Structure 1
Amino acid sequence: MIIFLMLVGLIAGVFFGFPTAFVLGGMAMIFGLIFVGPDIFGFFILQLESVMKNYTLLAVPLFLFMGVFIEKSGMAERLFNSLYLLAGGLRGGLGIATIVISALFAAATGVVGASEITIGLMALPAMLAKGYNKSMACGTICAGGTLGILIPPSVMIVVYGPIAGLSVGKLFLGAIFPGLLLVMLYILYLALRCYIRPQDGPPMAPAERDVPLKHKLYLLVTSVVPPAVLIFAVLGSIFFGIAAVTEAAAVGVIASMALAAAYRRLTLETIKQACLQTLQITSMILMIAVTASFFSTVFVALGGDDVISDLFLNLPFSKWGILFSIMGLLIFLGMFIDWIGIVFIVVPLITPIGASLGFDPVWFALLIMVNLQISFLTPPFAYSIFYLRGITPPEIKTTDIYRGVIPFVGLQIIGLALCILFPQIITYLPNLMLK
């Protein structure tokens, strides 16, 4: 009953709009003092020190800083202009180009908000001007933006690894193929829909794409090669065992600043804005990390981990039935709690369950992360929808965005199912990683 009240208090606090960090800390303080006593403060101090001394979490501000510089370097604009010319002649070509740009931008930033807003400001007006279906255009941008939370270097993976006791480098590599799988599913959907219904994604007029092939190739090379070098510098150094994740993040920061300088966007104002945005987001994440560790300490001290474990392991299902129950629970929680809260609250509880069922830990972790992508598109608290709503013109209604994301939620569930049916999609690259 105590554990039930603790969880109800947590969910109620978040549901009524209180900041997640303060809800976690408040519940930990109240239940800790009542049922453990003043000694709980000693445990809180140890947990605070543990989080602050976690070397891997140092990669969080570094990747955020890198992402801000990539956003301000003009890379997305150059990518869009080149792919706009190359794919605009196809039915649904602008939508396909938007997904490709989103994937490349995700691999260079690891942040959903920055990717979606930057790409949305360019792609949405272009698609609406060409007569694209409003709902499809909005859904494409929302779904493309969520790739930033999965395709490495993802901030979610950096946070997830230490909590679950897993190698962030292996999680990075394990996320590559699931991310590409979702990209392919989105592209196939857009191509098929626009083939059946050409009016949803008409091609560009021949006169608009009448640009010399030499110029098209120049635009493509100058826009794709720099981010490709940046991505290889970060992920390649991890894959080949040259650098740890935090060191690779530092390499990414230097490379992103060099890229901004090459595009003549490296200014004192840019550095100032990058520092401020990084400080704000990092402070939020680490505040939740600290208070979540307080909550977990009290929860475990009261036997909550055993209650949750027994609840799932005693379900009248096979291990696959239990897995699908966990996936369903995460989809439901994703409608009301952001990914940060779910990772810090739920992951420490369900990771031992996955181990008890004999699942590969990297595979199980990536299934959860693929699942958490869905939370960005499922109302009422669908952050991807809110990001886009803030930049849409008046003719776009919120209902247009909701209708647009529904097919992509289905595609994300299909991608999750394929990762369950074919574990090698996740495990192949981590198994090749150099020790």
Structure 2
Amino acid sequence: MMLPLDIIMFAALIAFILLGFPVAFSIAGVATLFAFLGWATGTMDITLLGALGQRVFGVLTNDVLIAIPLFVLMGVVLEKSRIAEELLETMGRLFGRLRGGLGVSVVLVGTLLAASTGIVGATVIAMGMIALPTMLRNGYDPKLAAGTVCTAGTLGQIIPPSTLLIILSDVMSNAYQQAQFEQGKFSIETISVGEIFAGALLPGLTLVVLYILYILGRAWLVPTDAPAASQLEERPSAREVAGAILPPIILIVAVLGAILGGIATPTEAASVGAVGTMLLAGQRLGAPRWLVLSGAVALLLLAIAAGAAPVRLQRSDVTILGWLQGGAYTLLALAGLAALVVTLLRIHASGLLVPAMKSTMTVTSMIFATIIAASIFSLVFIGLGGEERIEELLSAMPGGPTGALIFCMLLIFVLGFFLDFVEITVIVLPLVAPLLILMGHDPVWLSILIAINLQTSFLTPPFGFSLFYLRGAAPPEITTGHIYAGVAPFILLQIVGVAIIWFLPAIPTYLPSVLFP
């Protein structure tokens, strides 16, 4: 008996990706091929593709996804302006003289970079080039060093802000709405990016604690694997520590504080973060400190004042006080603009602006091309009857809703060995998430469970992105075998993290319930 076309279609997609074809083209090409096969065999109504234009337009005009290129730009600029490098060096000197301290410093730096940029590639490459050689020189086990760098870099996917959480929030919000429609509800609720960010914060920090406990425990049990560093410079002064740590903390407070506090949308907060990153990079590259600080203060005052006391000069009843208020806002905007122009000129003169823009466009184009191609794929998959087949499969799972969720989590984990998080998020989740929500699973709790599972896909060989990033940046004495063996314990820690969130659902749901009642 021949397998149904929907199953063959999914298998063909994995096969084409494993053969090395570009992901977006593989997804769109397979979908187009099977759409015509379904039409030829009478399995699919080809007129269903008429909805394709509306789907693509919806992706390109999605307000949530606009934040992605801004967050990508933040990460690229921080990495290229050596702010991340300075942070790594300072934290290494601060904790390095403790047994396992270098490993702990790598995890803490990964946490700060994750919360300020959310870009895995930039973090792994930076730490692979700076922290990894230092760890090896001080006698760290190569497998532990490689695994620590790889895993700390992936924190950018679970600690907000991150591209994974932005895409996941959009997919889960649509799934939640679809589930409510199927329940017959017409007054529907949605899930915002802020709720997902709030839900991911404590679970992300839980993973950080697990990593640190593992490194310290291994250093205590096997001192030769993570000895105290003896080849570091003297401990940094309080001023050096503050100078390295304050910039990312300021970004974290500005971006996450604005989102979680309900002051700004994710896109608005991302633009604030991008401007802040440019100012920090410009100052790091030689722009006058007084100009950068005055510009940052002016923009901060403008944001607060305009939010608290907005003025509309186009109205006919504007008073003298209103004109004076508008003039003050204009002066603040000009001061901020002057600082930004000077820093941009400084970044451009340093030869960093154009490469940063190219990297941002490359990553953004890859993500959006994959999302658009996945829209085609899911449309054809539904047309071939795949949605009904998945519903039957999940409904027939032993153990009811719990059994269905375990099956989906195992499926996502296995797919993570072969597919990227974007492909899994935009292809698989729209098919299974509505059904899981209909079965009674809390959407925010479910989103965080899936997010940690997807984060693991960066570590699972053979196609874990973090493994590739580190392989390209690691010194010659680090082999592929060292990297694979090094991440294995951390993959187990990821599973432990999923179990903790599973049995303690208050961890991901507490902050959203407080901040978004």
Aligned match of 1:190 in 205, 215, 224? 215
Counterpart Cα distance in 2 of 1:216 and 1:424 = 39
The TM-score with structure 1 as length reference comes to: 0.96
Note if 1:417 corresponds to 2:499: yes
1:337 maps onto 2:419 in alignment? yes
Q: Find out whether 1:135 has 2:143 as its counterpart.
A: yes
Corresponding residue number in structure 1 for 2:33: 30
- Show CA shifts across 1:15-74 (max 9, x none): 222222112212222232342455344222111111111111111111111111111232
Which residue does 1:372 correspond to in 2?
Answer: 454
CA separation in 1, counterparts of 2:14 and 2:282?
A: 46
Q: 1:185 & 1:41 partners in 2: Cα distance?
A: 47
Residue correspondence of structure 1 range 199-278 to structure 2 within 5 A: 199-205=224-230, 208=232, 210-211=234-235, 215-264=236-285, 266-268=346-348, 269-278=351-360
State whether residues 339 and 375 of structure 1, in contact with CA within 8 Å, keep that contact through their aligned partners in structure 2: yes
Q: Deviations over 1:391-421 (max 9, x none)?
A: 2222221111111111111111101110101
Contact 1:240 1:434 in 2 (8 A): no
- The one-character-per-residue Cα deviations of 1:327-353 (angstroms, maximum 9, x if unpaired) are 111111000111111111111011112
Separation of aligned partners in 1, 2:438 and 2:98: 49
| Change in CA separation of 1:216 and 1:8 when aligned onto 2, cut-off 3 Å | same
Q: Map residues 143-158 of structure 1 onto 2, 5 A cutoff.
A: 143-158=151-166
1:162-183 CA-partner distances (Å, limit 9, x unpaired): 2222311111111111111111
- Alpha-carbon distance in structure 1 between the residues aligned to 2:234 and 2:131: 20
CA contact (8 A) 2:48 2:383 kept: no
**Which of 105, 124, 131 lines up with 1:116 in the alignment?**
124
- The answer to whether the Cα contact below 8 Å between 1:69 and 1:274 also exists between their aligned partners in 2 is yes
How big is the alpha-carbon RMSD for the aligned residues of Structure 1 and Structure 2?
1.6
Q: Give the Cα–Cα distance (whole angstroms) in 2 for the partners of residues 11 and 88 of structure 1.
A: 43
Once the two structures are TM-superposed, the CA of residue 270 in structure 1 deviates from its matched residue by: 1.7
CA distance in 2, matches of 1:395, 1:78: 24
Structure 1 runs not aligned, ≥5 long: none
For residues 275 and 296 of structure 1, the distance between their equivalents in structure 2, rounded to whole angstroms, comes to 31
Q: Does 1:6 align with 2:9?
A: yes
Deviation of 1:2 (Å): 2.3
**8 Å Cα contact 1:82/1:216 also seen in 2:** no
Give 1:296 shift: 1.2
| Unaligned stretches of 5+ residues in structure 2 | 174-190, 287-345
The aligned residue for residue 115 of structure 2 is 107
Distance, in Å, in 1 between the alignment partners of 2:113 and 2:223 is: 28
CA distance in 2, matches of 1:68, 1:392: 19
> 2:290 aligns to what?
none
CA distance in 1: counterparts of 2:166 and 2:358, whole angstroms: 20
**Residue pair 2:81, 2:352 contacting (<8 A) in 1 also:** no
In structure 1, distance between residues paired with 2:67 and 2:171: 14
Greater mean deviation of Cα atoms: 184-193 or 384-393 = 384-393
Give 1:381 shift: 1.1
Cα separation, 1, equivalents of 2:107 and 2:376: 39
Bigger mean CA deviation after superposition, 405-414 or 260-269: 260-269
1:187-217: per-residue Cα shift (whole Å, max 9, x none)? 0011011111111111123x84544xxx521
Letter in 1 for 2:509: T
Aligned residues: 431
Task: Look up the equivalent residue of 2:347 and give its one-letter code.
Answer: T
Q: 1:397, 1:172 → 2: CA distance?
A: 36
1:305 counterpart residue number: 387
State the shift of 1:224 in Å. Answer: 1.1
Displacement, 1:249?
Answer: 0.6
1:120-146 CA distance string (max 9 Å, x none):
111011011111111110010011111
Q: Does 1:168 align with 2:168?
A: no
Task: Give the CA deviation at 1:8.
Answer: 1.9
Q: Aligned-pair distance for 1:321?
A: 2.1
SS in 2 for 1:198: coil
Inter-partner Cα distance in structure 2 for 1:399 and 1:308: 37
Contact 1:70/1:108 (8 A) holds in 2: no
Whole-Å separation in 1 of the counterparts to 2:134 and 2:233 = 14
Task: Answer yes or no: is the 8 Å Cα contact 2:45–2:383 preserved in 1.
Answer: no
Contact map agreement 1:88 1:209 (CA 8 A) in 2: no
8 Å contact kept, 2:116–2:252: yes
Equivalent residue letter for 2:438: S
Letter aligned with residue 275 of structure 1: M
Q: Partners of 1:50 and 1:391 in 2: how far apart?
A: 38
Structure 2 Cα separation of the partners of residues 40 and 328 of structure 1: 31
2:206 aligns with 181
* 1:303-344: CA deviation from partner (whole Å, max 9, x where unpaired): 311211220121122322222111111111000111111111
Instruction: State how far apart, in whole Å, the 2-side matches of 1:280 and 1:390 are.
Output: 18
CA distance in 2, matches of 1:8, 1:276: 34
Secondary structure at the counterpart of residue 17 of structure 1: coil
